[in-house]
Structure 1
């Protein structure tokens, strides 16, 4: 049964997914100029916020642990990251930026700033901030449903 509420939520879902897809494609195009990808950029940025482990980066970036490990390994091979033992847990390794990694991230951030400034000229900052707050609220509602195991209503028939 298709209700008006379901149709409206479907339209919202499609718009959100389409926006995410274009945002990621735009990010990949921007990062490609520096020989990177959006996923690599997210990992570099998370690490720049403080030495991290792969698991912590995965949790904070909505990437799988395996994806973060693969990206981290590639960035280590390129000389952008370095692994070091985690003093608190010898089974874990911390990941940190190297001088080359800092240079790559700085270029990515300069590209991002130019992209952001251009986008804000087309879509006012106040509207972006309001939309971000609204999306945060939707995210909280959906995350709470998942945490409770609620994904569909059960028929009582």
Structure 2
């Protein structure tokens, strides 16, 4: 069995950043669909969600498998716009900025959520926790000039 440290080391490389965005989301979407939301392959290493957000330009629903960090106490998650350490912000972050109300599939349950972009001291505190949770995020940040976007997503109250 491959160890977590080995996976962290591989996922910090530029080669991984070139290949992973084309392979991992497609596999995650396929397995998630086949298992009716019960399995997300990438979640075998990191917790994961399927984010359904409204496209910033298209206005259409966009489904994106994402790693996440559940916050202590449950009930909220942190989404990291690392884009595997590639230059631009991932499209899903622009979607959440334009339309913060979204939905996640978490362990087979669909949950309506609202996203908030973290900034300042709050972002700094969460970033520190993230680096303990998944150290490769430090390598991703070092490779890019942009500040990696962090979102806290919380369930929306039922109507």
Question: Shared fold by TM > 0.5?
Answer: no
- Please report the TM-score for the alignment, with normalisation by the length of structure 2: 0.29
**Bigger RCO of structures 1 and 2 (CA < 8 A, at least 6 apart):** 2
Q: TM-score, normalised by structure 1?
A: 0.29
Which of the pair is proportionally richer in strand? 2
Structure whose alpha-carbon radius of gyration is higher:
1
